[in-house]
Amino acid sequence: MQALRLRASQAGAVQVVALVVVAVLLGAGYIVLDRYSDGEKSVTITESRGAQIIQGLLKHKMETSAYPDALAKLVPKFIAALPKCPSGEPFAYVVAGTEFTLTCQKVGFTSKPYGYDSRSRVWRG
């Protein structure tokens, strides 16, 4: 009888440990998914805001046959205001002849800047 009680007590302790392990794994999974969704959200925001700038750049080029040397020259004629990166920083803009790049730091899970290259017409991180 004593041995039966000891086994039941040990089985209960194993079940408690298993439940704690499952709870910890679920909590860690939630944190990972939450961070992933925040990263995906910042990518979407960057691309959406960047599209506004790209449209302004294209309008400027159609009118003047060249991209401006600074994004500030798009305001207010080609876009109402310059959108910012999700971090609050301004978009980095580099023009080289007939091509340009737009980039933001701290987007998603990458340490590299996330940006748009007009040559490939692709957003990359």
Whole-model pTM above 0.75?
no
pLDDT in tens, 63-81: 999 999 999 999 999 999 9
Total number of domains constituting the chain: 1
Which residue range(s) make up the domain with 108? 2-124
Which has the closest alpha carbon to 122: 67, 54, 39, 61? Answer: 54
pLDDT in tens, 1-40: 666 666 666 666 666 665 555 555 544 444 444 444 456 8
> Radius of gyration (Cα) for the chain, nearest Å?
26
